Chain A
């Protein structure tokens, strides 16, 4: 929730989040180094470092990709999503250190430019083991960089949310590139079966969680029918909506969140203006719809964020009759949709 931009708007939860993130990163790196040094005392430090950072960056990317579907399957995981941005930035820096170590040890000190060397040194030889794997890593790093660099809300509003969202969907491209990077790289050399099994398990986890979440979402996404003569749609029963919570329905292809609070019913677009979080999974807190992702707030009657914030979501006209909620399927961008008052039965 920003009216002005700061580098990071710190709060207690973010501090705890980052502290745990950094501790986890440090723990992994130290343990990887200690175990490697113990079993392979002659290892070259640079390679130890590149492997520790490379594997951790890739592992962290798995976690980043799994948080989204986990939250859709169980909202309690939202605590992991809250500051995921810092996880993404951390992942980029880990990948960067990996890449810098690679360029400094494997590519520098020869006769050609070390960066150019990533692309030209290995030529296609026609065999599977001969596929140059490093350009995949390079392009993945570029994507991670773009995402880290534009992760701030400043860029979100300056690039406009659709462009920003598209840019950040590239994370899947980055992941795909890294799967190739590892498959044609280290899996060809450290040919141990366990390495391949580990990576396959990671890939399967990511895919399975996304499938499960998508399936869950599709089940909720059945388009409403039952249009009445006045154009209103029968959405749900009042009793279907828990107090201070919402029920999400699909109207003319848009998801609409119908909230019940203080004896009233209001409907707003389900899409949070911050990063498209699902408002319908939010809660009314201090009289405001509160987004489950990062806690942006909107007044249910107007769709506006309380001042000084300026975000706004579309609202929908609602009516209640015989214990059922009816919603007019056209969004209103300009504020007021009078809430329907529930009469005590």
Chain B
């Protein structure tokens, strides 16, 4: 035990120690820099999704209350094979869905509302200002193809998401790190959606409803953000896919368990 000795309260350190400190600090800075780049670059779940926060727009369309409130907006000039309308999920601010009771009275009617757009790929949603939703004076003609088409009984593996965060309010907004938020959102009325990643092509989003087409928010909370398998009746309404199954038949896939 000999050699230079560092005393913090002395103004200047021994030159040999000073050299050592400089090398030490440079090394630590490089390590820090390396980790900053590595850890940032290695993130894998940040997708392309948008919440037009601060930009409020006006929307008009036909209200559909079941299984979750959504807005049907006819597309101008649509014809032939293309679907003649867009579907917007409707939710309330923060971690809340719209009150299903008050929406039920508007079911099938044309409404005007103000809100903020949320979108990811083809999935679109409006964070509506609840007080702005009013029955419109003019009634829109329901577009062709609005009735549900059955796609039969099918089985899917996927993850239950809260649609609001995943479609754009939070990015990344999925999986275990985000689970508590998703549970709070879904229990607050945000529509639960099953995300199914396909080997080829775009991911599928299936709106989860009970066998009799009712909301299942409270029944799915324990299954959120984990791999699950769901078998049920699939229906298509325009671009919206609805998966109808009794939540007690959902199966947790323990792929990540030992």
A residues near B (Cβ < 8 Å) are 1, 11-14, 20, 24, 27-29, 31-33, 35-36, 39-40, 42-44, 46-47, 51-52, 55, 59, 63, 75-80, 82-83, 105-112, 117-118, 121-123, 125, 127-130, 132-134, 184-186, 188-192, 194-195, 198, 242, 245-247, 280-283, 285, 290, 292, 294-295
Contact = CB atoms under 8 A, between A and B. Distances in A.
Contacts of B13: 13, 79
Interface string B186-216: 0110000000000000000000000000000
Contacts of A125: 222-223, 226, 252
Contacts of B222: 123, 125
Contacts of A78: 6
A77 B255 CA distance: 45
A292 B175 CA distance: 48
Contacts of B47: 42
Contacts of A77: 24
Contact of A47 (B10, B38, B172, B187): B172
Given A111-B187, A192-B42, 19 more contacts: A11-B8, A13-B11, A28-B33, A33-B40, A42-B171, A75-B1, A79-B17, A106-B178, A106-B180, A106-B184, A110-B185, A129-B226, A134-B180, A184-B176, A189-B175, A194-B38, A242-B1, A281-B1, A295-B9
Contacts of A42: 46-50, 171
A107 B9 contact: no
Given A42-B50, A185-B177, A295-B8, A109 B94 contact: yes
Nearest to A37: B40
22 contacts: A13-B13, A31-B36, A43-B172, A47-B171, A63-B28, A75-B6, A79-B17, A106-B178, A106-B180, A107-B181, A111-B188, A121-B180, A121-B183, A125-B252, A127-B254, A129-B226, A185-B177, A198-B35, A280-B1, A281-B1, A282-B5, A294-B9
Contacts of A246: 1
A242 B32 contact: no
Chain A CB within 10 Å, residue with most, of B25, B40, B179: B40
B228 to A, nearest CB: 11
Contacts of A117: 180, 184
Nearest to A11: B9
Chain B CB within 10 Å, residue with most, of A12, A44, A55, A123: A44
A123 B220 CA distance: 12
Interface string B11-27: 11100010011001100
A285 B48 contact: no
B138 interface: no
B27 to A, nearest CB: 11
B174 interface: yes
Contacts of A292: 5-6
A246 B221 CA distance: 65
A83 B8 contact: yes
A40 B40 CA distance: 9
A285 B5 contact: yes
B257 A129 contact: yes
B258 interface: yes
B35 to A, nearest CB: 6
B154 interface: no
Interface in B143-169: 169
A208 to B, nearest CB: 16
B7 interface: yes
A79 B8 CA distance: 7
Contacts of A280: 1
A172 B121 CA distance: 45
A136 to B, nearest CB: 13
Contact of B20 (A13, A55, A79, A128): A79
Nearest to A29: B36
B117 to A, nearest CB: 14
The 8 closest A-B pairs by CB, nearest first: A109-B94, A110-B184, A189-B175, A35-B40, A40-B46, A82-B8, A188-B176, A106-B181
Given A121-B183, A127-B252, A128-B256, A31 B8 contact: no
Contacts of A290: 5, 7
B37 interface: yes
A134 B225 CA distance: 15
Contacts of A189: 45, 172, 174-178
A245 B187 contact: no
B31 to A, nearest CB: 9
Contacts of B8: 11, 13-14, 79, 82-83, 294-295
Nearest to B40: A35
B41 interface: yes
Contact of B9 (A13, A24, A198): A13
Contacts of B25: 20
A24 B170 contact: no
B226 A130 contact: yes
B203 to A, nearest CB: 16
B102 interface: no
Given A76-B20, A127-B254, A32 B171 contact: no
